[in-house]
């Protein structure tokens, strides 16, 4: 090998070695950056809060945990009943946030916080309407009796005034016109959870009280009167689950025989359909007219928690994951497109939505019903 060639080879080797050194240094630098970022993320103090059952799986999702960590807002949630959260505030719990199911519980928390001189801010990152999960034969019977009407295939509207009247009149399924498909002696009743413990049952009480009163209840005297009458709708059901998941499981596992009408959150049926990639052919959703949209309300008690509330409400990835758990978000089209492949029919745009009574009125009615159920 002549001298010029040796020089060229040496230069090439040196260049290769130099590139390798540079690459190695860059790689080490990148690893150091990533390690430092991981250390910083691990050192960020977790936000402690109380959450409702509705969002427990959402917070357990690794994708959610990753987004929160990346934004330096990791959380350590504790699941308790929504109506227990205000008691935690009153007892002096050092929580950064509360994430209850429903506006009523959120307002109760905010009121308890005001009394404790704690400033709060509220966010509603996602929501779900209250619906009745039912079966095609049952829905058609209600249609034939003027209690329901079809909105589209496998989607029905239920007149809450007429349904409440039929239940209070102790109508039995076999008493209804064209009841051949469900000719049983059982009373026409909607299966709910225990109103003494469950937010979903409280929303049922809110709507049936409005139906009985002709409008949403706004005063304590009326609240007590209607609650006494409505207590029988809970008493006649027999045993009731404490949480709405148990009620939905009865609907899924035991079918029309035990649960012809189940009071649930829409997101439960949507989550089920997404997981199963469909629903049974005769499963249908019935939308009360009017209905209540159950907001999962995020109540922040400090600045970092406010940042978390904003992130939950605006981050596109978190909003998309919420849809996978059956929740509606600010973008109705994104929700509809996610549900469409499952074949589950839903009412995409809710036209007749009302607010529940104030938490004071709800507390009054729940207390009356609870007392009546023990007699």
| Successive 10-residue mean pLDDT values, the chain, 375 residues | 59 58 61 53 82 94 98 96 91 95 91 95 96 97 98 96 97 96 95 88 96 96 97 88 78 91 96 93 96 94 98 97 95 93 93 92 95 88
According to the model, what pLDDT value does residue 59 have?
97
Give the phi and the psi of residue 261 in degrees, each rounded to 5. Answer: -135, 115
Using DSSP's 3-state secondary structure scheme, residue 318 falls into helix
Strand ranges inside 7-120, DSSP E: 47-51, 75-79, 97-99
The sign of the dihedral angle between the CA atoms of 135, 137, 139, 142 is negative
> Is the entire prediction scored with pTM above 0.75?
yes
Residues 141 and 184: their CA atoms lie apart, in Å, by 12
Architecture of the domain whose range is 129-294+345-373: 3-Layer(aba) Sandwich (3.40)
In the prediction, which pLDDT does 247 show? 86
Query: What's the confidence (pLDDT) of residue 39?
Result: 43
Give the pLDDT confidence score for residue 44 in this predicted structure: 87
Look at the domain 43-126+295-337 and name its fold.
D-Maltodextrin-Binding Protein; domain 2 (3.40.190)
Is 326 within 8 Å of 268 (Cβ atoms)?
yes
DSSP conformation class of 336: H
| Residue count (the chain) | 375
Contacts of 359 by beta carbon, 8 Å cutoff, 6+ apart: 104, 105, 107, 108, 111
Nearest-CA neighbor of 111 among 273, 271, 299? 299
């Amino acid at each position: 090998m002549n001298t010029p060639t040796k020089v060229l080879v040496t230069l090439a080797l040196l260049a290769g070695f130099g590139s390798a050194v540079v690459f190695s240094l860059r790689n080490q630098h990148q690893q150091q950056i990533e390690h430092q970022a991981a250390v910083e993320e691990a050192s960020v103090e977790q936000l402690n809060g109380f959450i409702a059952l509705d969002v427990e799986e959402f917070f357990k999702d690794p994708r959610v945990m990753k987004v929160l960590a990346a934004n330096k807002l990791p959380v350590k949630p504790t699941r308790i009943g929504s109506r227990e959260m205000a008691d935690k505030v009153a007892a002096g719990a050092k929580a950064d946030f509360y994430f209850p199911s429903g506006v009523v519980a959120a307002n109760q928390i905010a009121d308890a916080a005001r009394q404790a001189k704690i400033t709060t801010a509220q966010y509603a990152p996602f929501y779900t309407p209250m619906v009745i999960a039912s079966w095609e034969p049952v829905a058609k019977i209600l249609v034939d009796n003027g209690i329901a009407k079809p909105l589209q295939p496998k989607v029905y509207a239920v007149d809450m005034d007429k349904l409440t009247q039929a239940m209070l009149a102790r109508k039995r399924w076999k008493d209804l016109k064209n009841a051949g498909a469900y000719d049983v002696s059982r009373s026409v009743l909607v299966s709910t959870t225990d109103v003494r413990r469950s937010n979903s049952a409280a929303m049922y009480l809110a709507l049936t009280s409005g139906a009985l009163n002709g409008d949403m209840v706004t005063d304590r005297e009326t609240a007590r009167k209607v609650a006494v009458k409505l207590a029988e709708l809970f008493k006649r059901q027999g045993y009731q689950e404490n949480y709405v998941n148990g009620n939905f499981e009865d609907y899924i596992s035991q079918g029309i025989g035990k649960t012809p009408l189940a009071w649930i959150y829409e997101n439960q049926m949507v989550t089920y359909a997404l997981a199963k990639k469909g629903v049974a052919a005769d499963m249908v959703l019935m939308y009360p007219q009017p209905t209540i949209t159950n907001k999962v309300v995020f109540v922040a008690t400090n600045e970092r928690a406010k940042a978390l509330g904003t992130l939950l409400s605006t981050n596109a990835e978190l909003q998309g994951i919420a849809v996978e758990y059956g929740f509606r978000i600010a973008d109705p089209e994104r929700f509809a497109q996610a549900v469409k492949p499952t074949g589950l029919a839903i009412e995409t745009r809710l036209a007749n939505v009302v607010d529940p009574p104030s938490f004071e009125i709800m507390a009054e009615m729940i207390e009356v019903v609870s007392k009546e159920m023990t007699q």
